[in-house]
Structure 1
Amino acid sequence: MTDDLVVMLTALNQEYKAVRERLTGTEVLKHSRGTRFEVGTIRGTSCRVALGLTGKGTQPAAVLAERAIQHFSPVALVFVGLAGALWDTPLGDVVVATHVYAYHGATSEDDGLKARPRVWETAHGVSQVAQHVARTGHWARDVPPGTEVHFGAIAAGEVVHNSRSSAERRWIREHFNDALAVEMEAAGVAQAGHLNGAPIAIVRGISDPADGSKTTEADRKWQPTAAANAAAFAVRLAVELIKEQELIAMDDNTTSDDRGTVRNVTTGPVGIQAHTVTGSTVHQNITRRGDGPTDFGTELAALRADVTREHSSGRLDDATYQAARSELDIADEALGATTREGKQKFVLALKRLGGLLGDLAGPAAKIAALIVAAKGLS
């Protein structure tokens, strides 16, 4: 798993742009089959997003969701975009799926069409984080006042709905009457997540009432607003999901079992190995070159050169190389901050860099030494 990256996918360019506006330092990453992703950092954070465009429909969304999961191994995949309202969900509000219905499953019999739906629930942890984001309200700082988040079912199929009385609308009301919104991609994305064991979140902005009153003029107003509102919530959700993963990783790095045995995990050189150490105190130090204070700027420049060299030699693949460069950029930026938060950001970037380069002994040792030195700063 890439502990600091969330994949975000959209069906439409308007939705894509709404997410991209919240990213900085984006770089294009091309999949071997031609799919293009833009990998950037959420403004004001060290959290990364891989952004991709699927086009309309459940099938392309499913294929590209699986492709993204396999390529990036993200903390989570968030599908962001527009949806039509059901049950008068207000325009501009955000709907986050608690579960997704694939409403087109059915069997046709002499006495009518009988529903055979499939449903995927949002992972409990993702749902809990999303509820927290909605409660705190920080996500809503740049959206219109009064914009709300609703949690409930989303119905997904291959039909664009714009009627209150059509057979398709009656079908949804009869068989899926708890759905708050209707759209065309979530079922494919949810199944891709299920098959790959990846947490999925569906975040939709309500752009129209899907009741026959949809107009071009109304779309010009509400589609950009709904896309921006959904993007604002999705980006904040991504930040919180990455923070959650970092906390889990920190807990996993030092854990104890029921017998009190402590297990330490490191990506740097190991000074001592033993099956069990009891009743003893072990001191482990990493030696730095020279006795003076560490020049972090010089060390980061040396690491950047190492990363470039390892990539040129073929020992570092393109995706890892780009991810390592991004972490070095974050560390460089954090180095200029004098606050405690800046120091923490610097150390976290180094830790993530160490995870990326753990198989390369030389760079890994340098990173471990830098982390020790950085932690020793007042």
Structure 2
Amino acid sequence: MAGPTALVSALHEELAAVLGLMPDEQQQVFGGRSFWRGHLHGHDVVAVLSGIGKVAAATTATALIERFGVQRIVFTGVAGGLAPGVRVGDVVVARQFLQHDMDASPIFPRHEVPGYGRSTFDADTALTDELVRASEQVLRELPATLGLDVTKAFGLDAPRCHQGLLLSGDRFVSTTAESTTLRTVLPDALAVEMEGAAVAQVCHDYGVPLGVLRTISDRADDAAHVDFPHFLREVASRYSGAIVEALLRQK
């Protein structure tokens, strides 16, 4: 029998949104983490909070595969936008992942992961295609229900779904200098966060399909003055719950 789908969230509010959709979740504690096993739209699922940063995310992914035998991992969270046109309230669905703070030079080229001969890892094509369809559906329907006060507060205007390179690193990027450097060195990057590339490396090792979507909460620069708790509660968590639900309804 095929294993469950893992639903991984980076933040408590997003996990709560997913758990709110599960009618029969049961908690299991393993490795210092709470895993919630249950069902959603006929799918056997395991929901868990990843923790912040690459080590915590990699540990969580490994536990999901080794302990629960998951057949695929779906990760949701927020990110800072980098590429022009990637705006607050947009969604980025990752096709590739790269650790922007990986640097074992001069032994290896900058960004290359030692032992792999590569700097990027890929998301699963089929699962990512499904996430794109689910995201585009939600972005057509959900923003109109958020309320005028929310859309005006965050400048939400025809949010879009972007696909491409997602950066990860154990540093919270929140200054113009940092984001400008990343855009210069890695011009194909759409957004930056702290977990995705680590999960992608684990999934590559185990041959487990991975799909990652990130809601853009800021532009990762000096102008990022968003009311983050409000954005997380009123926008990001609602996006995550709705997109996960739309994804699982596809099959």
Letter of the 1:143 partner, please give it: L
| Structure 1 position 106, deviation (Å) | 2.2
Q: 1:79 to 1:175 in 2, by over 3 A?
A: same
**Alpha-carbon contact 1:103-1:155 (below 8 Å) kept:** yes
- Determine if the alignment matches structure 1 residue 86 to structure 2 residue 86: no
Aligned structure 1 segments of 4 or more residues deviating by more than 4 angstroms: none
Q: 1:227 to 1:173 in 2, by over 3 A?
A: same
Higher mean C-alpha displacement, 143-152 vs 188-197:
143-152
| Structure 1 position 141, deviation (Å) | 7.2
Q: 1:68 to 1:208 in 2, by over 3 A?
A: same
Query: TM-score, length-normalised on structure 1?
Result: 0.56
**Alpha-carbon contact 1:92-1:207 (below 8 Å) kept:** yes
Letter of the 2:134 partner, please give it: V
| Structure 1 position 181, deviation (Å) | 1.0
Tell me the equivalent position of 1:187: 197
| Structure 1 position 169, deviation (Å) | 2.4
Name whichever structure is richer in strand by fraction. 2
| Structure 1 position 142, deviation (Å) | 6.1
Tell me the equivalent position of 2:94: 97
Letter of the 1:25 partner, please give it: D
Q: 1:235 to 1:58 in 2, by over 3 A?
A: farther
Q: 1:238 to 1:115 in 2, by over 3 A?
A: farther
| Structure 1 position 107, deviation (Å) | 4.8
Structure 1 unmatched ranges of 5 or more: 244-378
Q: Within 5 A, what are the aligned runs for 1:121-160? A: 121-134=122-135, 137=137, 139-140=138-139, 143-145=142-144, 146-160=158-172
Distance (whole Å) between structure 2 residues aligned to residue 173 and residue 34 of structure 1: 36
Structure 2 unmatched ranges of 5 or more: 113-118, 145-157
Deviation readout 1:307-338 (Å, 9 max, x if unpaired): xxxxxxxxxxxxxxxxxxxxxxxxxxxxxxxx
Distance (whole Å) between structure 2 residues aligned to residue 142 and residue 30 of structure 1: 36
Larger Rg: 1
Count of aligned pairs? 228
Name the SS of the counterpart of 2:18 in structure 1.
helix
Letter of the 1:199 partner, please give it: P
Q: 1:203 to 1:152 in 2, by over 3 A?
A: same
Letter of the 2:164 partner, please give it: G
Distance (whole Å) between structure 2 residues aligned to residue 30 and residue 228 of structure 1: 26
Query: TM-score, length-normalised on structure 2?
Result: 0.81
CA RMSD of aligned residues (A): 2.2
**Alpha-carbon contact 2:132-2:161 (below 8 Å) kept:** no
Q: 1:99 to 1:234 in 2, by over 3 A?
A: farther
Q: Within 5 A, what are the aligned runs for 1:196-235? A: 196-215=206-225, 218-224=227-233, 225-235=235-245
Name whichever structure is richer in helix by fraction. 1
- Determine if the alignment matches structure 1 residue 70 to structure 2 residue 66: yes
**Alpha-carbon contact 2:173-2:221 (below 8 Å) kept:** yes
Deviation readout 1:285-304 (Å, 9 max, x if unpaired): xxxxxxxxxxxxxxxxxxxx
**Alpha-carbon contact 1:102-1:187 (below 8 Å) kept:** yes
Deviation readout 1:185-223 (Å, 9 max, x if unpaired): 0011101111111001111111112111223x6223322
Distance (whole Å) between structure 1 residues aligned to residue 98 and residue 130 of structure 2: 22
Letter of the 1:51 partner, please give it: A
Distance (whole Å) between structure 1 residues aligned to residue 21 and residue 241 of structure 2: 8
Q: Within 5 A, what are the aligned runs for 1:1-378? A: 2-3=2-3, 5-31=4-30, 33-42=31-40, 45-87=41-83, 88-107=85-104, 115-117=110-112, 118-134=119-135, 137=137, 139-140=138-139, 143-145=142-144, 146-164=158-176, 166=177, 168-215=178-225, 218-224=227-233, 225-240=235-250, 243=251
